[in-house]
Structure 1
């Protein structure tokens, strides 16, 4: 068990007091029924990072394994789909080396109170937010990370969904139209006040007036960003792409636009800096235009409607932060980081409107 212990110590884990989860004994009995042994003599600890789903490091059959579950409380429609994620991971791992294997899915809420899944654990480096301290002294790391992000996204979009056994994942026909309508509906549910509702309508109506290209669908991650990648510490190559609960098939430019919605630049509006989702304001990181150009060179994808797609990605992102704030208001989450998310969500929606009228890059 020494190998297991060393991996547990090196993982990015929260203090034991912050890792509480009831039902571990029930979980052990449940897994035993499937011939799996959960080692309760090892501490079960929650991974740090993330704003919604909870990930725990457990020892299963002598190996470190990730238990992943949704947050408590009422969840937004279509969000935190453990079954969808397990289906993707259990198949896509055969096609891409940087996708961890899905090991088991359980929809029986009597076990730990929510659906959950078990996923192969892959240790490595995770760069969270804007903190580059782990790469101090490594000249060229921002450039390497920029290239790695674009190349990894291109590799995902190059997978043949049929060969991966995911040819019936999602409904790619009409994907963009449903995304606009779906996020508009979700926004109405969490937008408080007439001014915010009007801002949502402005963005939604603008998006509905746009002409989006029809492209062959690809597999989509739908939340592709740096902290959803676990990296090999020396080479910065991707070891695991995680957080697949929104994965589907659709227009590949939507994934690129999602990445760009997190890709803050030094001269961006303050709200994009407050996001603190990626360290791209630091010297050496590419600018968004170069990211898009490199993606087009690697995939051959035209970028005619990238501006409209970026507005859609920002529209979605603003609403996601409104949803997260609502979960905090409802008491489903206790993390005080959520307290300012309503203001941040509204500011991102304002940026989406500025991008649509050409007054922001």
Structure 2
């Protein structure tokens, strides 16, 4: 049995019979046997499943249940992003097939290859030794892989027809403020001053690169001894834009032990980055600057915006729960977490 998955959650089941028929009709050389489906239990957005027929395995991604924010959870776009990236950035999994046939599982979906390795969330796997050294290795890999992604020439990929790099930060800041307004469920006093500051201090981007834009440890997969990253997932937000925006997002997830308690525990147990040996945010920034050669003197703006962007994402999730569009109780406190992130972003403007 696959150890990193759970049985399908109630209400999130797939139609196994229809899906099995689709697979056999569209994929060659599938082995004999019945389709078995299990679900990844982590994640708060798209739903992800492991499909198994005999020795064959793959991963299916679909949008969350209920109404979703405009332009969010676009499975076709993520499939196209992976199709463009996998040949030039192999840590991105190979996409297999996309379907917009709503009669199969009730939504659009795509299937990609299954990668095997270690995903870190709140703890190292039991039995891991030299934890401090491993924490340093993982920190280095995370920074170096981000630098490597930003070094890929997007103009040599199909992404050129999918993106508009010019004016990236301006669109991002105004777009995420608009998304927040549409998902608002209560008034937070810091919001107006924070959003005004974000608009008034938008940096002039000097270059554009491919950015993952949801770059965090539990979206990465490592080899058993942490010698390399063997997979990077959740490419839904990927685009071409200011690489420092990607660094800001990574830093917003890279939490410190002295961060506000609600930030640390807002999504459950604190992330593993609070443990001894993991880079501080300052070390992360310094290594990125050294390896990439980029000027990071204005990184506090990008971190501030990243906190706000993450707050909006959490607020959008809470909005769906608040309005009864999902009954997943994990989302009940997302509104509180969004408020904490707003306050953290506001505090960050003072630097």
Tell me which interval the TM-score lies in, with the shorter structure as reference length. over 0.9
Alpha carbons of structure 1 residues 212 and 127: separation in structure 2 relative to 1, 3 Å: same
SS at match of 2:158: coil
Count of aligned positions? 347
Question: What TM-score does the superposition give when structure 2 sets the normalisation length?
Answer: 0.92
Structure 2 residue 161 is matched with structure 1 residue 208: no
| Among 78, 86, 100, the residue aligned to 2:71 | 78
Matched, 1:14 2:3: no
For 2:204 and 2:140, locate their aligned partners in 1 and report how far apart those are by CA, in whole Å. Answer: 26
Query: Secondary structure of the residue that 1:137 maps to in structure 2?
Result: coil
User: Among 121, 126, 132, which residue is 2:124 paired with?
Assistant: 132
Dislocated runs of 4+, deviation >4 Å = 16-20, 35-40
Partner of 1:110: 103
Matched-pair contact (CA < 8 Å) for 1:38–1:59: no
1:55 is paired with a residue of what secondary structure? strand
Cα distance in structure 2, aligned partners of 1:135 and 1:99: 28
Q: Which residue in the other structure is 1:288 paired with?
A: 281
Question: Within the alignment, does 1:58 sit opposite 2:55 as a pair?
Answer: no
Q: Distance in 2 between matches of 1:82 and 1:134?
A: 35
Whether 2:182 is the aligned partner of 1:218: answer: no
Verify the 8 A CA contact 2:134 2:226 in the aligned structure 1.
no
2:89 match: 96
Q: Shift of residue 300 of structure 1? A: 1.0
**1:251-289 deviations in whole A, cap 9, x for unaligned?**
000110001001111222223212456311111111101
Tell me which residue corresponds to 1:123.
Answer: 116
1:240 maps to which of 226, 231, 246: 231
1:91 shift after superposition:
2.1
Report how far residue 338 of structure 1 moved: 1.2
> What is the CA-CA distance between 1:200 and the residue it aligns to?
2.4
1:3 matched to which residue of 2? none
1:166 aligns with 2:159: yes
Q: Which moved more, 1:225-234 or 1:157-166?
A: 157-166
Residues 279-358 of structure 1 correspond to what in structure 2 (within 5 A)?
A: 279-358=272-351
Q: Secondary structure at the match of 2:96?
A: strand
Match of 1:68, SS state, is strand
Cα root mean square deviation, aligned: 2.0
Name the SS of the counterpart of 1:166 in structure 2. Answer: helix
Post-superposition offset of 1:215: 2.2
Kept in 2, the 8 Å contact 1:67–1:116? The answer is yes
Name the structure 1 match of 2:253: 262
1:8-31: CA deviation from partner (whole Å, max 9, x where unpaired): x24401135659524222223333
Unaligned runs of 5+ in 2: none
Among 10, 17, 31, which residue is 1:25 paired with? 17
